[in-house]
Amino acid sequence: MLTSVWKNMKKRSLPTKTLYPFVRKSNTAKEAAALGKLGIACSSFGQYEQAIDDREKSLAIDREIKHRQGETTSLNNIGTVYRQLQQTEKAIKKYQGCQYLVGCG
């Protein structure tokens, strides 16, 4: 997965050199965090579909390593992008996932 992440980063017009050291590490928690930050960068450049993709990858890693805080953050961030795209139903589902994880749902 690390190699595919780096290849995708190289194709973009984003500050990839800043994130490269984190993605190249074999620490999956740092990889998930780097993907989340890349999603933030994509959102700020208006690349919303790519932002969702990066954050979904981050979410998958967080789930795999059972990192609940990261999982909650990823779900919240994905919900925020869907809200920006005015896809309310998808946003609500992601936010409900956050509520479930923190025990409020």
- CATH number, domain containing residue 70: 1.25.40.10
| Range(s) of the domain holding residue 71 | 2-102
Kindly report the CA angle at 34 between 33 and 39, in degrees rounded to 5? 95
Q: 0.85 cut: is pTM over it?
A: no
Our count of domains for the chain comes to 1
Do the Cβ atoms of 78 and 59 come closer than 8 Å? yes
For the chain, which residues score pLDDT lower than 50?
1-3, 5-6
Q: What is the pLDDT of residue 103?
A: 76
